[in-house]
Amino acid sequence: MKLVNYYKTFLNNFKQKIIPLVYQNDLKKLGLFYETKWGEEQGDHMYVQHYEKHFYSIRRKNLKILEIGIGGYDNPNEGGNSLKLWKTYFPNSRIYGVDVVDKKALEEDRIQIFQGSQNDEYFLKKVIEEIGELDIIIDDGSHVNEHVITSFKTLFSSLKDGGIYIVEDTHTSYWPSLFGERWSTFGNKNVYLENLAKVGGSLDLNDPKTSMNFFKRLIDGLNHEEFLFPGYIPSYFDKHIVSMHFYHNLIIMYKGNNIEGSNILENNTLRPYILEELGVKSLDDLGLDFASVSDQYIRYRL
């Protein structure tokens, strides 16, 4: 019996070390091996093809990658599969994880873990102070809309130019906090459903408090130099988000310098030659009602 157990242990250890090396170029197979939810079964997240598209060309670079959410819920010894996946797929990179539960037991070579809330700006800033600028940030944390927005506002500036910020599971934007205060009266509760009761989404597709509407507003910022609104002051996101890719339940954003300029506007007002072509001396002569949209443009500065 001891010999049988020895061989079982040996084969399991061999499998854990060899199979990732064999599949290290195939993100889909790595996802299956590490049992991340990227498969083809009902309920799985079909993110793998998008990650391969955006990651494959940079996978051998020396990167710093931070993932929010480690998995395993309240068990300090469970979770961490996606951290191991990224460690394997990015063989020259250092992987960092953040979770509200102490997951330090899951640390290993090239994987470092911090305990704290993704909704705590002070904690997130302390993490960045310790590890420095990042190349990739993946938010697979609580999926609570407020938390997603707080994390993005706090962490996006810590990306290097060319860096990538990712938000997973954006479907929670469309789910109101199920049951509300009545949750405590329900029986047969489990952690997953309890989390759904707190996500803070909305049935209103235009609710400004949801993460999807927050990110949808940033799309206009890609074209901030085309805003015909004299005196507009571009936000940090206006100036540094250079592309946004929206997929089913997934957003992938790139950081850079969004300063291409406009051939019609300068400083958010019409260029002199355009005014001349229109036969007017100033923008005021066009009778445009900027006051009616001033609140809207101020909102984009936030």
What residues act catalytically? 143
Rg of the chain, C-alpha, whole Å: 23
Coil vs helix vs strand at 230: coil
Give the integer Cα–Cα distance in Å for 153 and 128: 13
Residue 294's H or E segment, with its range, is helix 294-301
Q: Which residue has the tokens 């997130």?
A: 124
Q: Which two tokens stand for residue 242?
A: 């250079």
For residue 156, give both structure tokens: 């996006």
Exposed / middle / buried, residue 295 (Cβ in 10 Å: 0-12, 13-18, 19+): exposed
- CA distances 61 to 21, 94, 95, 268, 296, Å, are 17, 10, 13, 39, 41
- Residue of 113, 109, 84, 108 lying closest to 96 (CA atoms): 113
